[in-house]
Structures are given as C-alpha cells and as structure tokens.
C-alpha cells in the first residue's frame, strides 16, 4: 500500500534521513520507534508531502507522492495527525471536524462520517460548540484524530499521539488507534512510547540518526534485548 524506497532528506547540509526503505501493507499498524531526533517525524512529513526528499520514492498504491502537492495527497486517502495536535484553536470542535472533510463534497456522506466520529469520540459530541483551544490535551488529541478521520482515509499517519497525556488517556488513545485499524484503516504510527507502540503494532522499524537499524514483528522486537535496553527502560 505504502512503500518508501531509499529515502534521503536533508535540512540544508544536514542529512536527516539516510537511504530509508520500508513498507506498510493494507490493514497493518506499523510503528516507527526511536529516540528524539532519530528522524521519525521527518519521515511522516515527507510521506505526506510537507517536506521534499532529495532522493528516493514514496509510493502510495503505485503513485509517487513526491510528485503530488501536499493538499492533494489527502484526497488520495492519506491523512496525517501532526505532532502537537495542531487544532484550530479559535474554531469550534464542529468547525475543526468539518475542515477535515474539505476534500469531500457529498453533504449527506459528510454528516454520516461526522456521526461515526462522534460515536467514536463521545466527548467531542458533548463539546461540539466549544472552542478547540479550550479543550484539554487529551480532547485536542481526539479532535486531531477525528478531524483526520473526516477525510475517510485509507491510511492514517499518527505522530506522537500519546505525547503529554496522562497514563489513563494514553490507554484510551491506543485503544482508539486499535479500533480505527479494526474498522479498516491502515495506521503508520510514530511514537516515543515504544512499549505501547509495539504492544499494538503488527510490525515495527527502529530508527537511529536517520537510519533503520532494526525491523520485524512488533512482538519479537519487544523481546529483543537491545530494544528493551534502549527504548523500553528495561
């Protein structure tokens, strides 16, 4: 479904991503884990067209996303939930969600999706007239995820969804990610909480300073001594 081949990304003269290759098959949850500055967010930004690669390909169902403007990538079925939520603080919850459906035109179908989002995130329904900037961190994370789901994506990129959340909310967010996946959406997950990411992922890739140093079944990586030592605090 998504294939990244020999990706090389630079910030000026600094090479952030060094010949990275990985695949995401339809229906999978794939985790990218690694320390801060390893290049995880840069990869997501490159996949969704926010950054241009110097070399390499990002193939989505055979289409090279490097040749498509970022705002058009959404209509192909790819949605990105950025690090730090990035909700529109001065707009209501309802307005934020409607913006997520900007690539769609059928009002009836948009309403249907909205109801599905409210079913998945009941708190958003309760607060639909509230300004997004006044929501708690957990609620803003749910809004960012709900907004992405409004485009009816086939694949969703999640960047640090548990960042800054209490342990109870982290559990809730990861349960929601699993249910999004079960309902048919493929997930590419970037997450500092390696333990939680590996517990829900099918496969995972470990990044260090712009390189993939380990890859494989998530459960196998969870028991890998080097992964335990470096990322699981064991």
* Residues 25-58 pLDDT 10s: 999 999 999 988 889 999 999 999 999 999 999 9
**Are 144 and 81 in contact, with CB atoms under 8 Å apart?**
yes
Report the pLDDT averaged over residues 108-113. 91
Q: Both 196 and 160 in a single domain?
A: yes
Decide if pLDDT at 59 tops 80. yes
Considering its fold, how many domains does the chain have in total? 2
Report the pLDDT averaged over residues 139-159. 93
Structural tokens at position 59: 């193939």
pLDDT of residue 35: 84
Domain-terminating residue out of 128, 152, 176: 152
CA separation for the pair 153, 77 (Å, rounded): 4
Q: Both 65 and 104 in a single domain?
A: no
0.85 exceeded by the pTM? yes
Q: Both 50 and 95 in a single domain?
A: no
Q: Both 113 and 160 in a single domain?
A: no
Q: Both 25 and 56 in a single domain?
A: yes
The CATH number for 228's domain is 3.40.50.300
Domain-terminating residue out of 112, 129, 152: 152
Helix axes 137-149, 93-100, angle to 10 degrees: 30
Q: Both 112 and 125 in a single domain?
A: yes
Residue 205 lies in domain:
1-77+156-233
Report the pLDDT averaged over residues 179-203. 93
Q: Both 70 and 175 in a single domain?
A: yes
CA separation for the pair 216, 220 (Å, rounded): 7
Per-residue pLDDT band for 234 (boundaries 50, 70, 90) equals low
Dihedral sign (CA 206, 194, 196, 118) = negative
């Amino acid at each position: 479904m998504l294939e990244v081949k020999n990706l090389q990304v630079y910030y000026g003269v600094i090479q952030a991503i060094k010949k990275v290759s990985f695949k995401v098959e339809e229906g999978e949850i794939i985790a990218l884990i690694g320390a801060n500055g390893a290049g995880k967010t840069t990869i997501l930004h490159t996949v969704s067209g926010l950054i241009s690669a110097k070399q390499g390909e990002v193939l989505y169902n055979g289409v090279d996303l490097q040749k498509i403007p970022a705002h058009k990538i959404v209509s192909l079925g790819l949605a990105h939930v950025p690090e730090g939520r990035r909700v529109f603080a001065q707009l209501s919850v309802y307005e934020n969600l409607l913006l997520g459906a900007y690539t769609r035109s059928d009002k009836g179908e948009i309403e249907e999706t909205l109801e599905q989002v409210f079913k998945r995130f009941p708190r958003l329904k309760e607060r639909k007239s509230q300004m997004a900037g006044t929501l708690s961190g957990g609620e803003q994370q749910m809004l960012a995820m709900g907004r992405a789901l409004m485009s009816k994506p086939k694949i969703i990129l999640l960047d640090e969804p548990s960042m800054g959340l209490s342990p109870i909310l982290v559990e809730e967010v990861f349960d929601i990610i699993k249910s999004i996946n079960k309902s048919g959406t493929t997930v590419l997950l970037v997450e500092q909480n390696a333990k939680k990411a590996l517990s829900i992922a099918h496969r995972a890739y470990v990044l260090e300073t712009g390189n993939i140093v380990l890859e494989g079944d998530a459960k196998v990586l969870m028991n890998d001594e080097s992964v335990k030592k470096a990322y699981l605090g064991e």
